[in-house]
Amino acid sequence: MGPAFFRNRYSATTKGAARGASRLRRDLARVCGIGGLLVAGLACAQERSAAARVVVADGMPRPLSAVPGNAERGRALLVERGAANCLLCHAVPDPSLRIAGNVGPSLAGVGARLSAAQLRLRIADIQRLKPDAAMPSYYRVEALDRVAAEYRGKPVLDGQQVEDLVAYLETLK
Q: What is the CA radius of gyration of the chain?
A: 20
Residue 121: closest CA among 161, 61, 48: 61
Residue 166: closest CA among 127, 139, 129: 139
Handedness of CA 163, 60, 65, 104 (dihedral sign): negative
Handedness of CA 144, 158, 131, 78 (dihedral sign): negative
Please report, for residues 52, 99, 119, the alpha-carbon distance to residue 171 in angstroms, rounded to integers and kept in the order given: 23, 20, 12
Q: What are the pLDDT digits (tens) for 153-163? A: 889 999 999 99
- For residue 166, give the H/E element and its range: helix 159-170
Q: Which residues pair with 59 in a beta bridge?
A: 56
Q: Is the pTM here over 0.95, yes or no?
A: no
Q: What are the pLDDT digits (tens) for 53-107? A: 788 999 999 999 999 999 999 999 999 888 888 999 999 988 888 778 889 999 9
Q: How far apart are CA 156 and CA 139, in angstroms?
A: 6
Q: What are the pLDDT digits (tens) for 6-43? A: 444 444 444 444 454 455 455 544 544 444 433 434 44
